[in-house]
Amino acid sequence: MKNSTLRSAVLATAAYLALTVYLYHPYVRDFAAIELLYIFNSVAAAVGAFLLSRRWIGSPVAEFFAGAVYGFSPLAIGFAAYHPLASLPLALLPWLFLPAVIARRPKSPARSLASTAITTAMYLLPLALIVLFFWLLAQPCIRPFFPLPKSARLSPANLTALLAPLTVKPHQFAFAFYHIPIAIALVGLIANITAHRIAIMAGALACLILAFAGPILEVPPVVWSLVPALYCSIAIGLGMQALILAGPADAKWPLAAFMAATAFTILTIVLGLRFGPPWFYAAKLHTLAMVLLAAIFFMARGKVRWHLFRSILLAAAMALDIVLGARYLIDAAL
């Protein structure tokens, strides 16, 4: 590992650890030994996603938040709401994908059949290890420690959390990334499409579909949602980087995110009139995202670079959203 990568990883780990301690400190004194896994899993998941994101992202701020939205997402807290062991796959998944991501690519543009087979196997290995993990836990001698209901899966109701994550109870597995990141994710997804990363997108989509299906070899279906969650977290980091660097020719990116945030704001206000305060809270944060993205759009359109200023704006808004949302969900879960 290069010195710069090691230094960045150490700083990111310290920041994630500080955030985890802040989020869990009201409960740590009453934790049993196994419950310390809550802290380990959150930090390990965030650091793993951070390191994984460096393959595609070059902005330290964007890389940091790619890790944060994965390790402290509503979905991550949903796993922790069941059992400390339940979120262990969340923590391990990014690390299991690292060998496939950092493996040296062939110099020749035409990749050999053997090279393609090896790369595909390396990407499938983490999924096989997840199956093995839950198969082992399902054995009679260990079954009492099985951390999740085998029927746990996503439903269309879980996806409402994309708009308002705090309206879904943690143990119901809210597939979400808080409020401000969701509009930014759109930019990252478009960037992946334009970069022709179709195979990775297809794999994430396939796992998302499996999360709605029945159990496969003892694996609760909801576990497969961790793969698209990891993919979307990195897409959020990629979108954040695109917004930080956007110039006049790239003004369409913040404009697209602004339009998405506007649509989310209007929709959450309408739903708030029907369902009450949690939706209005979501509307406030979507409004903040809308204002922030409008400011970045006008900066990009007006050739105002101010990359550091944009980074600070995005980082402050994202941090506020994650800290407030994660603290609320952890209080509800514990």
pLDDT for res 124: 83
Provide the token pair at 137. Answer: 């836990």
Q: Which of 65, 76, 101, 266 lies closest to 184, judged by CA?
A: 65
CB atoms within 10 A of CB 196: 8
Per-residue model confidence (pLDDT) at position 321: 94
| Predicted local confidence at residue 121, as pLDDT | 80
What span, in angstroms and rounded, lies between the C-alpha atoms of 316 and 86? 30
User: Between the CA of residue 328 and those of 180, 283, 317, what are the distances in Å?
Assistant: 16, 17, 17
pLDDT 10s digits, 266-295: 999 998 888 878 888 899 999 999 999 999
Q: For the chain, what's the residue count?
A: 334
Question: Which regions of the chain are under pLDDT 70?
Answer: 1-3, 104-116, 143-145
Residue that the structure tokens 């990775």 belong to = 200
Query: Could you tell me the two tokens for 236?
Result: 């959020």
Question: What is the pLDDT at residue 215?
Answer: 81
CA–CA dist 312, 328 (Å, integer) = 24
Tokens linked to 243: 């917004």
Q: What is the pLDDT of residue 232?
A: 94
- Separation CA 19–CA 254 (nearest Å): 28
In tens, the pLDDT along 49-98 reads: 999 999 899 889 999 999 999 999 999 999 988 888 888 889 999 999 98
Closest C-alpha among 60, 52, 106, 57 to residue 226: 52
